[in-house]
Amino acid sequence: MRNIVIIMLGTIVFLSSCKGHKDLSQNVIGKYVNAFEHNTVHFVELYDDSSFLHYYKKNDSQFENRGHWKFRNDNGNPEISFTYWKSFGGNKDQACVNGCLAFVKMKSSELIFDVDLPDERNFKKTGK
């Protein structure tokens, strides 16, 4: 009987921890805007089906790409991995111009593509 109680408690704890991880990944869903460049529309939108849209428009130039994202917890540091990420605009990473796997750090409601760049270049979550 005692073993059954221990197994049940262990199962409850395990399932509770899984639920918390899912809730945390659900909190990242939404639109993140980069307002660093003037007269530019630049955002990443994370959808609940694990897909994303990355959009960039400046003057007559317009780019977009789609792929999938996954929430990760890197030793207590939340991050998002993007499959088939393409870099556009001021945050352009030459290695990702034709598509790559990108790992992005998270802080509060911001996506940080490069920790060496100033905070103004981060993508900030909007209320929409």
Domain ranges of the chain: 29-125
User: For residue 95, what is the DSSP state?
Assistant: G
Structure tokens at 83: 């499959």
pLDDT tens per residue across span 115-128:
888 888 889 999 75
Please tell me the distance from the alpha carbon of residue 90 to that of residue 95, in angstroms, as a whole number: 14
DSSP lists the bridge partners of residue 43 as 33, 55
Domain 29-125 in this protein, CATH class:
mainly beta
Place of tokens 């059954």: 4
User: For residue 118, what is the DSSP state?
Assistant: -
Report the pLDDT value the prediction gives residue 5, as an integer from 0 to 100: 42
pTM for this entry: 0.73
Instruction: Note down pLDDT in tens along the chain; length 128 residues.
Output: 655 544 444 445 444 444 444 455 668 999 999 998 889 999 999 999 999 999 999 999 999 999 999 999 888 889 999 998 988 866 566 667 677 888 899 988 999 988 888 888 889 999 75
User: For residue 23, what is the DSSP state?
Assistant: H
